[in-house]
Chains A and B, each alone.
Chain A
């Protein structure tokens, strides 16, 4: 998808929280759906618990948009469950995630300036 690869990744922002969190999880490496979900729940202290419908609905959409792809490589067969499907982030997905992060950072900076909140790692 040359057009997507050349884009700055801003064409899809702002992303829905579910999609951004899925991208964040896959940024670390390949995951199957259930692992993504558990990681998100842990990261958000249980505030964002994706149900199967929303999770796979988002994955379905992300696959179509080319943000992620299904991975043919399987981890060690002992660890693997054949019925699971593994996903990994695409370069385009990475770009979109970066664009979203930049958008959020700008927003946070603006909020900090306006409401006087000091950044945590200043």
Chain B
């Protein structure tokens, strides 16, 4: 029987698969039976039968024993929780908020940054900024793209808002005019019909002549809405700003690029148009850095260099389409991801602290049990089961929170269709949640587990163990204070950035301003003098309303200039080098908006009527002349147009993108401000809301055929624009507040536990003449040392994360020393309250009873 030792070895190894408790009790007996049985099985067949039976036996009994042990651990855990429901509830809630917020924010990051776009090979798609390829004619543009050394393809698009359906009842919709290769470049196939081809490109301005390229591809949603998904939509006519377009195709359901467009039509190429966006596809095999370098070289030769003292002109750049689509939400969601990870870490330390306290409580029992031979692994597994159960319960609750978070995020920053939606029902998101959940369980359990090993190394409870446990727990509290300081400092930075955003001098006064949009496209007022008479008539009626002080009109309002509207301006005959936003306005605009004329004057009504070549520039533009007033009298040129500078104004914040908000601005008089849409503005006495309806009706009354839309006060518009930053600020504050609450509870737990543990010591000290207040003071000093130990690295960490915030959020500044000191004091104060209330038990200690028990 030479094979017995090996068989036995194998069987012993298999026995290890049983739970340790069972193994300890029965492995010797089982081993013995194994030997007896094996000795009776002679011959190959008998041996084979024996092993088969044995394997079947193991396969049946091991899972049963394992599940029994797990069930036991679960029951034990649930009993523990029922005994202290508040403690368990708190731990689950803390982890649920942490896991839920992480899942929710990750689903946004996933939708925007990780999930690939529904285009062909989306990783090679890019957007060009501050750069428009040659586009005087379709031929010129296509020549350019075909000759490119680094681009496989390029397409142009221009975004506008238009009235669909025609007439005043039509709805306002986002429309893209694109070069013929737009869809083929993206690799998007229509759900129905066809998309554009090279034959759809025409040269000219406006909507193109009917019959040539007066065709359109409509969005899937619009198709459902207008035609109920009827395929006969193909060939029918849709009116955009009154222009009839024949529908040739329907875009696939998930397609709304660029910027939630619902209708696409072929572009008309002309030299005057500077509102183009460019989307490109890199050549196969070319790397991003190489493509960027090639683009830099090309743009250098095509785009004039800015003047040396003109810092505001942005240089051309190339970004991946995915990053471009994520836009402002990208930084915000990354910032949130950081914040929620901190919150989760704090929640984990809190739960770890709680479990540590419980393990320490049971230290005596555990060391006795382990001295009696109880398995350490068994105890550890019990602890781990509790952690897993905690994180499982928290994950379930967290998914609800995540669902709520994503729906909130979708409201604040609706995702573009191409990003599909912020959904938690996504493989990657669920895998993330599962990982977070397991990591949470491990993080919460790891220190208590380490402590458990320490407990069992000592035969009985000793003072050094108690001290070790206390040190560990205090270390955890320090870590919590540190993380909370970072989060608090971040929330202060974000809050300040927001205040800065709201308080910044926008160059106009939002109070008491009413705005009403109109679109003259496709109406009888569309062209020339007739348009101006329409504006005059409307302004007359508005000005005659009671309570209206002044009124004017502009092509676009401050903060509403999306994209690159304007162009390069030359000075006094010198070539164009100053890139600037151009805003066509009527007279009285600055007065109505509450703008400030710094030097010179505003346009007169006569100048507007006669189309005088005069311009007003902003201070930033004028600063290029050294002394701003020196700009007066100089000649501005753009192509063949020229204007004389008659005034300098305090710059108006024209773009929401803060990097370009205070760039160069040139205001020119226009009898037709707005080729696609215009906005009337009126300054009123009293509350702007009270005049809203009257002014809208006055505009409408001039010509019911002209579509009137978005009648809003300037304050309402500002609120809409700043809704997202406001939400970010509030959310960060909520997270910081939650972290602070966790710290408060954590410190309270540690201190009140320390009081219970040191009751006898306190009793003796009181018997020796210390008053309860003195003892509480002693604990307070000790607790504050712990807070300081966490806060100091926290401040250092906050300075580092502050730098990161500076890159992510415009206007955010890393906290200074005074703020750091203030935050430290605040946390210390909050901690003191917590410590003081945690030690109130001392005041009620009965010294005689304690001494008697001694």
- With CB as the reference atom, state the residue of chain B lying closest to A32: B29
Given the complex, which residues of A lie within 8 Å of B32, measured CB to CB? Answer: 34, 83-84
Q: Does B841 make an interface contact (CB < 8 A)? A: no
Contact call A49/B26, Cβ cutoff below 8 A = no
Stretch at the interface among A51-59, A88-96, A100-108: A51-59
Contact call B65/A83, Cβ cutoff below 8 A = no
Which residues of chain B in 1-34 are interfacial with respect to chain A, using CB atoms and an 8 Å cutoff?
18, 22, 25-26, 28-30, 32-34
Given the complex, which residues of A lie within 8 Å of B598, measured CB to CB? Answer: none
Which residues of chain B in 38-95 are interfacial with respect to chain A, using CB atoms and an 8 Å cutoff?
53-54, 56-58, 60-62, 64-65, 68
Q: Does A66 make an interface contact (CB < 8 A)? A: no
Given the complex, which residues of A lie within 8 Å of B56, measured CB to CB? Answer: 51
Given the complex, which residues of A lie within 8 Å of B25, measured CB to CB? Answer: 56, 60
Q: B34 is contacted by which of A50, A52, A54, A57 (Cβ under 8 Å)? A: A52
Cα distance A61–B62 in the bound complex, in angstroms:
13
Q: Does B230 make an interface contact (CB < 8 A)? A: no
Contact call A54/B61, Cβ cutoff below 8 A = yes
When A51-B61, A53-B62 are in contact, do A60 and B33 touch as well, CB less than 8 Å? no
Contact call A51/B22, Cβ cutoff below 8 A = no
When A51-B53, A52-B34, A60-B22 are in contact, do A83 and B29 touch as well, CB less than 8 Å? yes
Q: B57 is contacted by which of A52, A61, A83, A84 (Cβ under 8 Å)? A: A52
Q: Does B199 make an interface contact (CB < 8 A)? A: no
Cα distance A30–B32 in the bound complex, in angstroms:
19
A118 to chain B, nearest CB (A): 37
Given the complex, which residues of B lie within 8 Å of A21, measured CB to CB? Answer: none
Given the complex, which residues of B lie within 8 Å of A85, measured CB to CB? Answer: 29
Closest 7 CB pairs of A and B: A51-B57, A53-B61, A52-B30, A56-B26, A53-B57, A57-B61, A52-B33
Q: Does B36 make an interface contact (CB < 8 A)? A: yes
- Interface residue range, chain A: 10 to 19
Beyond A34-B36, A51-B61, A54-B60: 11 further Cβ-contacts under 8 Å? A51-B54, A51-B58, A52-B26, A52-B29, A52-B54, A53-B30, A53-B57, A53-B60, A56-B61, A59-B26, A84-B29
Q: Does A27 make an interface contact (CB < 8 A)? A: no
Majority secondary structure of chain B interface residues (helix, strand, loop or mixed): helix
Name, among B26, B36, B53, B64, the residue most crowded by chain A CB atoms within 10 Å (CB to CB).
B26
- With CB as the reference atom, state the residue of chain A lying closest to B18: A53
Q: Does A9 make an interface contact (CB < 8 A)? A: no
Cα distance A59–B30 in the bound complex, in angstroms:
12
Cα distance A40–B36 in the bound complex, in angstroms:
16
Contact call A37/B33, Cβ cutoff below 8 A = yes
- Interface residue range, chain B: 20 to 34
B670 to chain A, nearest CB (A): 91
When A33-B33, A56-B26, A60-B22 are in contact, do A49 and B61 touch as well, CB less than 8 Å? no
Q: B26 is contacted by which of A50, A60, A84 (Cβ under 8 Å)? A: A60
Q: B64 is contacted by which of A33, A57, A83, A84 (Cβ under 8 Å)? A: A57
- With CB as the reference atom, state the residue of chain A lying closest to B55: A51
Cα distance A14–B550 in the bound complex, in angstroms:
93
A63 to chain B, nearest CB (A): 9
B53 to chain A, nearest CB (A): 6
Given the complex, which residues of B lie within 8 Å of A56, measured CB to CB? Answer: 22, 25-26, 29-30, 61
Contact call A34/B33, Cβ cutoff below 8 A = yes
Contact call A54/B57, Cβ cutoff below 8 A = yes
Given the complex, which residues of A lie within 8 Å of B34, measured CB to CB? Answer: 52
Name, among B34, B58, B61, B68, the residue most crowded by chain A CB atoms within 10 Å (CB to CB).
B61
- With CB as the reference atom, state the residue of chain B lying closest to A60: B22
Cα distance A84–B54 in the bound complex, in angstroms:
20
B134 to chain A, nearest CB (A): 81
Q: B58 is contacted by which of A34, A37, A53, A60 (Cβ under 8 Å)? A: A53
Cα distance A53–B23 in the bound complex, in angstroms:
10
B13 to chain A, nearest CB (A): 14
Cα distance A60–B18 in the bound complex, in angstroms:
13
- Write the residues of chain A forming the contact surface with B, with a CB cutoff of 8 angstroms: 33-34, 37, 49-57, 59-61, 83-85
Cα distance A51–B36 in the bound complex, in angstroms:
12
Given the complex, which residues of B lie within 8 Å of A84, measured CB to CB? Answer: 29, 32
A78 to chain B, nearest CB (A): 19
Given the complex, which residues of A lie within 8 Å of B60, measured CB to CB? Answer: 51, 53-54
- With CB as the reference atom, state the residue of chain B lying closest to A63: B25
Q: A49 is contacted by which of B28, B53, B58, B62 (Cβ under 8 Å)? A: B53
Cα distance A76–B53 in the bound complex, in angstroms:
33
A-B contacts, 20 of them at CB < 8 A, read: A34-B33, A51-B54, A52-B29, A52-B30, A52-B57, A53-B58, A53-B60, A53-B65, A54-B57, A54-B60, A56-B29, A56-B30, A56-B61, A57-B64, A60-B22, A60-B26, A60-B65, A61-B68, A83-B28, A84-B32
- With CB as the reference atom, state the residue of chain A lying closest to B36: A34
A59 to chain B, nearest CB (A): 8
Name, among A52, A60, A84, the residue most crowded by chain B CB atoms within 10 Å (CB to CB).
A52
Which residues of chain B in 807-824 are interfacial with respect to chain A, using CB atoms and an 8 Å cutoff?
none
A49 to chain B, nearest CB (A): 7
B70 to chain A, nearest CB (A): 15
Given the complex, which residues of B lie within 8 Å of A60, measured CB to CB? Answer: 22, 25-26, 65
Cα distance A83–B431 in the bound complex, in angstroms:
50
B30 to chain A, nearest CB (A): 4
- With CB as the reference atom, state the residue of chain A lying closest to B54: A51
Cα distance A34–B512 in the bound complex, in angstroms:
97
B776 to chain A, nearest CB (A): 49
A7 to chain B, nearest CB (A): 21
Given the complex, which residues of B lie within 8 Å of A61, measured CB to CB? Answer: 68
Cα distance A113–B25 in the bound complex, in angstroms:
47
Given the complex, which residues of A lie within 8 Å of B30, measured CB to CB? Answer: 52-53, 56
Cα distance A21–B228 in the bound complex, in angstroms:
72
Which residues of chain B in 618-672 are interfacial with respect to chain A, using CB atoms and an 8 Å cutoff?
none
B41 to chain A, nearest CB (A): 12
B148 to chain A, nearest CB (A): 72
A64 to chain B, nearest CB (A): 9
Cα distance A53–B18 in the bound complex, in angstroms:
9
Given the complex, which residues of B lie within 8 Å of A37, measured CB to CB? Answer: 33
Name, among A37, A53, A56, A83, the residue most crowded by chain B CB atoms within 10 Å (CB to CB).
A53
Given the complex, which residues of B lie within 8 Å of A59, measured CB to CB? Answer: 26
Cα distance A97–B550 in the bound complex, in angstroms:
101
Which residues of chain B in 262-320 are interfacial with respect to chain A, using CB atoms and an 8 Å cutoff?
none
- With CB as the reference atom, state the residue of chain A lying closest to B31: A52
A54 to chain B, nearest CB (A): 5
Cα distance A6–B26 in the bound complex, in angstroms:
31
A34 to chain B, nearest CB (A): 6
A61 to chain B, nearest CB (A): 8
B1 to chain A, nearest CB (A): 19
B167 to chain A, nearest CB (A): 80
B11 to chain A, nearest CB (A): 9
- With CB as the reference atom, state the residue of chain A lying closest to B22: A60
Cα distance A50–B37 in the bound complex, in angstroms:
12
Cα distance A52–B53 in the bound complex, in angstroms:
10
Cα distance A105–B6 in the bound complex, in angstroms:
48
Cα distance A53–B28 in the bound complex, in angstroms:
12
Cα distance A31–B530 in the bound complex, in angstroms:
113
Cα distance A117–B471 in the bound complex, in angstroms:
77
Contact call B65/A57, Cβ cutoff below 8 A = yes
Cα distance A49–B56 in the bound complex, in angstroms:
12
Given the complex, which residues of B lie within 8 Å of A83, measured CB to CB? Answer: 28-29, 32
B196 to chain A, nearest CB (A): 72
Cα distance A86–B30 in the bound complex, in angstroms:
14
Given the complex, which residues of B lie within 8 Å of A54, measured CB to CB? Answer: 57, 60-61
Mask of B778-822 contacts with A, CB within 8 angstroms, 1/0: 000000000000000000000000000000000000000000000
- With CB as the reference atom, state the residue of chain B lying closest to A57: B61
- With CB as the reference atom, state the residue of chain A lying closest to B26: A56
Cα distance A112–B185 in the bound complex, in angstroms:
82
- With CB as the reference atom, state the residue of chain B lying closest to A53: B61
B832 to chain A, nearest CB (A): 52
B38 to chain A, nearest CB (A): 11
Cα distance A64–B352 in the bound complex, in angstroms:
33
Given the complex, which residues of A lie within 8 Å of B64, measured CB to CB? Answer: 57
